[in-house]
Chain A
Amino acid sequence: MATLRVDQLTVPLRAFRLQLRLEVGSTLALVGPSGAGKTTVLRAVAGLVRPESGRIAVDDDVFFDGERGIDLPPERRRVGLVFQEYALFPHMTVRQNVEYARRHAADEYLERFRIAHLEDARPHQLSGGERQRVALARALARDPQVLLLDEPLSALDAHTKTTVRAELHDLLAELEIPVLLVTHDFEDAAALADQVSVIVEGTIRQTGTPTELVAEPADSFVASFTGANLLHGQAEPGRDRSTRVRLDDGTLVATAEPAHGRVALAVYPWDVTVGLTPPHDSALNVVHAPIRNIVELGNRVRLTVGPVSAEITAESLGRLGLEPGRVVYASFKATGIRVVAEHEVTAAERASPGAGPALAP
């Protein structure tokens, strides 16, 4: 498989400079809050935005090279770009949209994306999922060397999204070209991509598999973006080689990792257990507080208890008869806590307080 290489890319944006390098072998998701420069990266690869400097190439085909003065126009880069709102031509039928990319090849793609029966329809007559299939068919009919997806799931309603995400996952797995997708949703990124890069204000904070990012978040932003509860406090030397952290609200928690001074602790909601009675198990940390709110996420439910949120199944919620206001015990093991570097809070993070969309209702 080919590799998309983006080296020392620099694009001046209004509030900051986009500055990054990427190497896309199979599927890479660029995740970050809105305004982080994600779409600009896609547009630079497609040739719709002119970088200040850097190099963009797929194997030996150079799309852009600031030093050598190479800057191919979009039509000479074999790139398939699926726009956030799909950008289907409203004055053309589905078939004409696909044929626009390549004549005489429409049948194959109409068939493959199960839109053959819609060939005479206009884009405004299609559902969100159908529009996405047309946009993908059109982008791939171009026979691109690289596929770029801009927020592929954001234009869909919650119900359609689950189905489309599964379909998209299967499609991306079959494709033999590098795929670069951008999203503001870590869960979507984790579901669709092998590698995830977290981007904030034009720079990449961390790259890894979704599992690696959750296990070893590089800093508190990555931790909260990947869905962790962030608890801030002051570390105190503890007994038995464990660390005690006095949280800002006074709660004392234990962690197995060494720490000192001001720290941020990451606790993932699926590591938090909720019960009606004090737990008699190995969990060292227990929060005894009323349930502040309950948010349903498909078959899972997210509860906020004191400073932490917990993720349990809808079944457990019913079995325990939990409802907002009810006082419960939320417990998590000391070994389930990651100590992460507290970095300077940027404007972008203040704009999306607390967490990435994984925590948002």
Chain B
Amino acid sequence: MAGPSVRRTLLTVAYVGAAVVAMTFLLLPIVAIFAHTSPAELVEQLGNPVVQDAFVVSLKTSLIAQTLILLFGTPAAFLLASRRFRGHSLAITLVELPLVLPPAVAGIGLLAAFGRLGLLGSSLDAFGISLPFTQSAVTVAVAYVASPLYIRQAIAAFEATDPDLAAASRTLGASPVRTFFRVILPLARGGLIAGLALSFARGLGEFGATIMFAGSLQGVTQTVPLAIYAQFDQDFDATLAMSAVLVLFSVVLLAALHAGLSWQRSESTSSQSLFGLSGSS
């Protein structure tokens, strides 16, 4: 029979073993991407027109989509965080629906809504707008799948701000608008940045809805993930280079996410900092 100390050692070995397997499994593909490509090759591949076109499409559509998400998502999240009304929790659940929707279903849904024969298709047609298979369609697809991540995080950020601070601002003579921009927004900014990082990451990686709703036309609707898929059996080096750049982007976004979250924890309420309980400093 093994003694308690032997059993404890075995248990530790089992934990460490499981952790090593898990970490290796998660990191190996990423290491492999960089092991395949030397930095020199990577830089060389960035001159490839297919790669350049893909990055231009991805960045342009992402920036427009994220700007729209910020402009519409922020007030929507603030409303959902600060008001209680009938159907409030239903509204929050519905906002989260695109998160769990299979991307192919999202793509079909977008076609059914904005396609030529879709719900809004004929009205858009009347204005001479045809959305599917244009660059705007990429933006719409990205905004559709990414915005719930931002809105969810933004609701949490607004809910974490101390309502007494907004009340104090009002009693000090500030209008609701001034209170929002001078007090609520600065206090929630960490959480908003975290939400934007999540939303950006999700948007950059968007594949399924985009290919169904926008297609994969180089220089127009072919984003980096679509280009990787289109190129991987023709030019493996180019796909590795694109993947390597996306990994670097992801690392930056992950860092922004964590910085935002710890910022939020340290500044969201007055009482937390009052009693020195802030999680980070």
Contact = CB atoms under 8 A, between A and B. Distances in A.
Interface of A: 43, 46-48, 73-75, 77, 79-81, 83, 85-91, 100-102, 122-124, 131, 138-139, 142, 155
17 contacts: A46-B171, A48-B170, A74-B167, A74-B171, A75-B174, A77-B171, A83-B168, A87-B167, A89-B165, A100-B172, A122-B273, A123-B270, A123-B273, A139-B171, A139-B172, A142-B171, A142-B173
Which of B168, B183, B274, B278 has the largest count of A CB atoms less than 10 A from its CB?
A: B168
Interface string B162-200: 101101111111111000001100110000000000000
A142 B172 contact: yes
A112 to B, nearest CB: 17
B206 to A, nearest CB: 34
Contacts of A101: 172-173
Interface of B: 162, 164-165, 167-176, 182-183, 186-187, 267, 269-271, 273-274, 276, 278
Interface of B is mostly: helix
Given A90-B270, A90-B273, A81 B171 contact: yes
B167 A90 contact: no
Contacts of A43: 167
Given A83-B164, A87-B162, A124 B171 contact: no
A79 B171 contact: yes
Nearest to A74: B170
Contacts of A83: 164, 167-168
B172 A138 contact: yes
Contacts of B269: 90
A73 B171 contact: no
Contacts of A155: 274
Given A73-B170, A87-B270, A89-B270, 14 more contacts: A73-B176, A74-B170, A75-B170, A75-B175, A77-B171, A81-B171, A85-B164, A85-B271, A89-B165, A91-B186, A101-B172, A123-B273, A123-B274, A142-B171
Nearest to B189: A91
A131 B274 contact: yes
A47 to B, nearest CB: 7
